[in-house]
Amino acid sequence: MADLIRDELREVGFTEVIAVLKDGSAPRSGAGAAEAGPQTAASTSIMKHFTASERSQASELASAASHGESLRAASAAGVKGKARGGARATTARPSVAQAEGPLYYPNLGLVLGVVDQAGLAALRNDSAVDAVLGTPTISLIRPTNASAARLTAQHTWGIEAMNVPRLWSQGLTGKGVLVAHLDTGADGKHPALRAAIAHFAEFDALGRQVQPAPAPFDSDDHGTHTAGTIAGRPVRGRHIGVAPGASLASAVVIEGGRVIARILGGMDWAIGNGARIISMSLGLRGFVNDFLRLTQILRVRGVLPVMAVGNEGPGTSRSPGNYVEALSVGAHDRRWSVANFSSSQRFTRRKDPVVPDLVGPGVDVISAKPRSGYQLMSGTSMATPHVAGLAALLMEAKPEAAIDDIERAIFKSCEVKSGMIVERVNRGAPDAVRALSLL
């Protein structure tokens, strides 16, 4: 995204960048996760390369907050200022100076901040910096349809399609595995999720973690649906969750506000809590390599990134779901046909040239709805949590297995069903029983 950095510097005079520290090294300023603030002479030289501008998004947001506006990032559903289903959480209003400070993510080994032309040149020449990345805006991969639904079957069709109940019969539920769920949050009062959320965080419009942590809530309805598919507990004998014994580290990171800061904050927080899988249904349309280092860092930290490929159809994909390092997921329906909306694309790279890596159940999927009840949604966002849940089952079965082993077993379990086109589904649809045997 060199063009973005260059164009913003030329037209605006500053730009926001991510500095990747060599060897995951950290500034010596003592800053904690996603902290901002004034730096001292004792801090590492990298911090002095960042600048401040009253016209930056962070400064504008802080200025609005100083005039009484909420720092909650309003979602498309219009939730503002109050945690749905939970107590209102608060953070001290930052001054504009505090908002402009760089944010440090110790578990990722990254610093996010604003630079001018001189600062950018200094960062690129600093021996502590491995790379400088741009920050294009990521958005939620929204479902193609949503409607109220009743849960009448013992298992959702997606759970059956992946052969998951046969793993349950062997005692595997994902117990002991923590899955990071970075989305619009999740309603912790829903009966399927009351016992599923082990950790919850909200990152405000500036990208700072809200303190004290609010009760688990959903700023939209997308997150409750995806969380339910990963680890929803059975309610009256009916199942929506692939890994009903797994635990969730769920965070509100999208949409609105300083999105990159919010997502980085969620990733850093999830790693700090010991998550082994990250499920994300968000991305930037097209191939943009600025977030490639993030997926590489996640894998080095032992975290499997499971990401939706997008809902824009053939010949399209979203970053970071289209990276080699991501386990990218497309969508099929209950008749094993690839969904018309499911993105797919071929690249010129030699390794893993076709995305998605596989397709999962993603059409007319029933899962949890905020406050109570269930709803039906379609999208690669619905397929992704199915695969994240499958990974959790396999991790419980073989806790010593590396994430590469888990991913390889899922890939080799896939089958291209009759009528599927490889260019649209790549390896095809996964099978839980075969995946376990391959481990």
pLDDT in tens, 290-343: 999 999 999 999 999 999 999 999 999 999 999 999 999 999 999 999 999 999
Q: For residues 241-255, give the mean pLDDT.
A: 97
Residue tagged 């990974």 (tokens): 391
Quick one: 305 and 377 in the same domain?
yes
Contact 249, 278 (CB under 8 A): no
Q: How confident is the model at residue 271 (pLDDT cuts 50, 70, 90)?
A: very high
Pairing label, strands 15-21, 110-115: antiparallel
Among 133, 157, 173, residue at a domain's last position? 133
Among 133, 151, 182, residue at a domain's last position? 133
Q: Which of 100-104, 158-162, 253-257 has the highest mean pLDDT?
A: 158-162
Among 79, 104, 133, residue at a domain's last position? 133
Question: Could you tell me how far CA 198 lies from the centroid of its own chain?
Answer: 17
Quick one: 119 and 211 in the same domain?
no
State the pLDDT at residue 79.
44
pLDDT at 43 over 50: no
Sign of CA pseudo-dihedral 403, 404, 410, 413: negative
State the pLDDT at residue 38.
36
Q: For residues 393-421, give the mean pLDDT.
A: 97
Identify the CA nearest to 83 among candidates 220, 205, 180, 197: 220
Quick one: 159 and 113 in the same domain?
no
What is the C-alpha to C-alpha distance for residues 368 and 192, in angstroms, rounded to an integer? 7
pLDDT at 106 over 50: yes
Given 126, 183, 218, 364, the catalytic residue: 183
Percent of the chain with pLDDT over 90: 76
Contacting residues for 179 by C-beta, under 8 A, at least 6 apart = 230, 231, 243, 246, 247, 248, 249, 275, 276, 277, 278, 279, 388, 389, 391, 392
Pairing label, strands 358-361, 327-332: parallel
Quick one: 128 and 146 in the same domain?
no
Arithmetic mean of pLDDT over the chain: 88
Q: For residues 24-49, give the mean pLDDT.
A: 51
State the pLDDT at residue 24.
63
pLDDT at 229 over 90: yes
pLDDT at 366 over 90: yes
The CATH number assigned to the domain holding 212 equals: 3.40.50.200
Q: How confident is the model at residue 39 (pLDDT cuts 50, 70, 90)?
A: very low
Q: What are phi and psi of 7, to 5 degrees?
A: -65, -40
Residue tagged 């899962």 (tokens): 367
Given 49, 181, 199, 222, the catalytic residue: 222
pLDDT at 396 over 70: yes
State the pLDDT at residue 69.
63
Quick one: 54 and 97 in the same domain?
yes
Is 381 known to be catalytic? Answer: yes
Identify the CA nearest to 50 among candidates 98, 14, 24, 25: 14
Given 381, 386, 413, 431, the catalytic residue: 381
pLDDT tens digit string along 110-164?
Answer: 999 999 999 999 999 999 999 999 999 899 999 999 999 999 999 999 999 999 9
pLDDT at 390 over 60: yes
Instruction: Compute how many other C-beta atoms are within 10 angstroms of the C-beta atom of residue 289.
Output: 14
95 vs 408, higher pLDDT: 408
State the pLDDT at residue 12.
83
Quick one: 190 and 66 in the same domain?
no
State the pLDDT at residue 51.
86
Sign of CA pseudo-dihedral 17, 22, 25, 29: negative
End-to-end Cα distance, the chain: 39
Is 222 known to be catalytic? Answer: yes
Quick one: 115 and 165 in the same domain?
no
State the pLDDT at residue 37.
38
Pairing label, strands 365-368, 318-319: unpaired
Q: Give the tokens for residue 233.
A: 């507990």
Quick one: 67 and 88 in the same domain?
yes
Q: What is the pTM of this model?
A: 0.90
Instruction: Compute how many other C-beta atoms are within 10 angstroms of the C-beta atom of residue 374.
Output: 23
Where is average pLDDT lowest: 67-81, 270-284, 395-409? 67-81
pLDDT tens digit string along 58-90?
Answer: 666 666 666 556 666 654 444 433 344 444 454
CA dihedral 136, 285, 161, 431 (to 10 degrees): -70
pLDDT at 2 over 70: no
pLDDT tens digit string along 210-224?
Answer: 999 999 999 999 999
What is the C-alpha to C-alpha distance for residues 241 and 151, in angstroms, rounded to an integer? 12
Quick one: 282 and 146 in the same domain?
yes
pLDDT at 36 over 70: no
Quick one: 170 and 294 in the same domain?
yes
Domain extent, residue 116, equals: 2-133
Sheet with 110-115: strands ordered across: 103-105, 110-115, 15-21, 129-133
Quick one: 169 and 124 in the same domain?
no
Instruction: Count structural domains, the chain.
Output: 2
Task: Please write down the HEC assignment for all residues of the chain.
Answer: CHHHHHHHHHHCCCEEEEEEEHHHCCCCCCCCCCECCCCCCCCCHHHHHCCCCCCCHHHHHHHHHHCCCCCCCCCCCCCCCCCCCCCCCCCCCCCHHHHHCCEEECCCCEEEEEECHHHHHHHHHCCCEEEEECCCCCEECCCCEEEEECCCCCECHHHHHCCCHHHHCCCCCCCCCEEEEEEEECCCCCCCCCCCEEEEEEECCCCCECCCCCCCCECCCHHHHHHHHHHCCCECCEECCCCCCCEEEEEECCCCCCHHHHHHHHHHHHHHCCCCEEEECEEEEECCHHHHHHHHHHHHCCCEEEEECCCCCECECEECCCCCCCEEEEEECCCCCECCCCCEEECCCCCCCEECCEEEECCCEEEECCCCCEEEEECHHHHHHHHHHHHHHHHHHCCCCCHHHHHHHHHHHCECCCCCCHHHHCCCECCHHHHHHHC
Sign of CA pseudo-dihedral 209, 210, 213, 218: negative
Quick one: 289 and 363 in the same domain?
yes
